[in-house]
Amino acid sequence: MPEKKSNNSKKHGDFSKFIKPSKKQTRNRMKLSEKNEDTDYKKKTIKKTTSLPPSSSPEFIRLNRYIANAGVCSRRGADELIVACEIKINGEVVTELGTKVGRNDKVEYKGKLLNPEKLVYLLLNKPKGFITTTDDPYDRKTVMSLIEKACDERILPVGRLDLNTTGLLLFTNDGDVAKKLTHPKHGIKKIYHVVLNKPLEKDDLFKIATGLELEDGSIKVDKIAYAENGMDKKQIGLELHSGKNRIVRRIFESLEYRVIRLDRVSFAGLTKKDVPRGKWRLLQDIEINRLKMIS
């Protein structure tokens, strides 16, 4: 059922690659290339290199993207690993940023071979009673069981929802997007539907709107209003960008209210439309592009 909207609610570039070289220049470059290859093969005792060994694949991607696609970290994090001599290509340590890698190249991190997967973006409408973790030592139900047949790629939840919190939870193996959506500086907005144990007094609504002081610092929501046109003051609509642990519940607990139900109805512009409780869907290209444009 469609969700009701709340009323409150230069530098010049390098053109050298476009200039066609003369036949003489082409022959000289080929001779130089052959000479360099012979030199590389003779240096068998050198274990460390700053460039990528020749690849048999005609298709190349940047090494940091390859690492991010494998789910290790973001591209920026991958650059740090490369500079720190943590990455090997075909058995050789690579330290040069901007290195490109082909499909047939073997990339290693900490002795393990990386497998660059197809990027997957999945949106789950989490039901109550599932914890947000990949594995639970107490054998409780996890959100991973709800998406286990969704794809072959290893996707992970972006952020988390409490055991008794329902609503939108995004999964992906795109390290860059996951980092953007969880880093505080990007201020990713989330909208919650809150049901309290008693009507929220107007004075308390005003206190929340203007900001509260909690044990771990101050918190101010972006928007707050009574839901259902104000007919039931136990139901509240809340928009905020904070990612602090249990922040919505703690806001109301600080004013002596108890949250009976908490549902995340919007996350980073994504909504629950066409996603029933306990079900999931893959994001459309336009939604994926919007997430990637976050800066």
Catalytically active residues, by annotation: 162
**Residue 254 belongs to what H/E stretch?**
none
- E strands along the chain, which residues? 48-49, 60-62, 87-89, 92-94, 100-102, 107-109, 112-113, 121-126, 156-157, 165-172, 190-196, 212-214, 217-219, 223-226, 235-240, 259-267, 270-271, 280-282
* Helices 75-83 and 175-182: angle between axes, nearest 10 degrees: 110
Distance CA 3, CA 125 (A): 14
- Look up residue 268 and give its DSSP letter: T
Distance CA 237, CA 259 (A): 13
Instruction: Choose among 245, 291, 236: nearest CA to 263.
Output: 236
